[in-house]
Structure 1
Amino acid sequence: MNRTLALVLASATIALAAPVHAQVAGQASLGVSVEELRIVIQGASVKKQILGKPVYNETGDKVGNVVDLIVAPNRAVSFAIIGAGGFVGVGRHDVAIPVNQFDLSSNKIVLPGATKAAVKALPEFEYAKKDKSAT
């Protein structure tokens, strides 16, 4: 995976991680440590530089848009949700693609080997529905 994209995803992961300060009974730390903040500052904004951005293949053909990032239970960004097809969100087919398959080239998100048809042929991603009776 491209170093810049890896930094973006690592920044997102670190921002979600708990601080590494020692816990004191009756007291909890919020935020990030100075060391973690230095890493976060070097990263990029998922909101401004990833979400909603087009995804291209290596020949420059647009194959979809990044609509979401999935953070696994271990707090690692593991999948990007790509919206393929459709017009203004109608008829869009969302798919999950592991983040290690992407590259960042000339400030473009690239999914090598992808085509619109290949992305649309992947199984559709659906968010898990929360069980209201479990609360």
Structure 2
Amino acid sequence: MKPNLASAARLSSFILALSVCGFAASGATAQEAPIAGKATLGVTVTEEQVVARGWRASKMLHADVYNEKNEKIGRVDDLIVAPDGSLSAAIIDVGGFLGVAAHRVAIPVQQFKQIAPKAILVGANKDALKKLPEFEYAKG
């Protein structure tokens, strides 16, 4: 018996359609997050909205710090993240040039009116910040 090419093509199309339907019915999609251990990885819609309202660390690092009079009083040198994942402090270089001979202080982020795109520290000036204890990173 001679093979019928039209029948073979229809059979191949039918098998392909069945496999696509089976994949769709399994619930697997490209949008599912991979799973590591028992936790689903990825960002929920709520978390995505919070991320969208936030600022990139790269925009905050090395940003100039101003007071409410628009006087430049320092520069953000580093950011400290608390164990719970929240931003706790900004490390500010006051005075100096390119970090050399600068007085480095830690300022809680709650004291900033805003931290990005322009850091504003209300009620501060260079002299007041230079009187604060110098910040030193923990050893180890």
TM-score of the superposition, structure 1-length normalised? Answer: 0.69
Q: Which amino acid aligns with 1:63?
A: I
Cα distance change, pair 53–122 in 1 and its aligned pair in 2 (3 A):
same
Aligned to 1:32: 43
Deviations 1:2-47 (A, max 9, x none): xxxxxxxxxxxxxxxxxxxxxx894443332233122212322121
Alignment equivalent of 1:58, drawn from 49, 55, 68: 68
Aligned to 2:138: 128
Deviations 1:65-94 (A, max 9, x none): 011111111222111110111112110111
Q: Which amino acid aligns with 1:91?
A: A
Note if contact 2:55-2:116 (Cα within 8 Å) is conserved in structure 1: no
Task: State the identity as a percent.
Answer: 54
Measure how far apart 1:113 and its partner are: 1.2
Aligned to 1:73: 83
Q: Which amino acid aligns with 1:40?
A: V
Distance, in Å, in 2 between the alignment partners of 1:81 and 1:104 is: 15
Q: Unpaired runs of 5+ in structure 2? A: 1-34
Alignment equivalent of 1:85, drawn from 74, 77, 95: 95
Note if contact 2:92-2:107 (Cα within 8 Å) is conserved in structure 1: yes
Q: Unpaired runs of 5+ in structure 1? A: 1-23, 131-135
Looking at both structures, which has the greater relative contact order when contacts are Cα pairs under 8 Å and sequence separation is at least 6?
Answer: 1
- The alignment covers a number of residue pairs equal to 106
Note if contact 2:106-2:135 (Cα within 8 Å) is conserved in structure 1: yes
Cα distance change, pair 25–120 in 1 and its aligned pair in 2 (3 A):
closer
Give the root-mean-square deviation of aligned CA atoms. Answer: 2.3
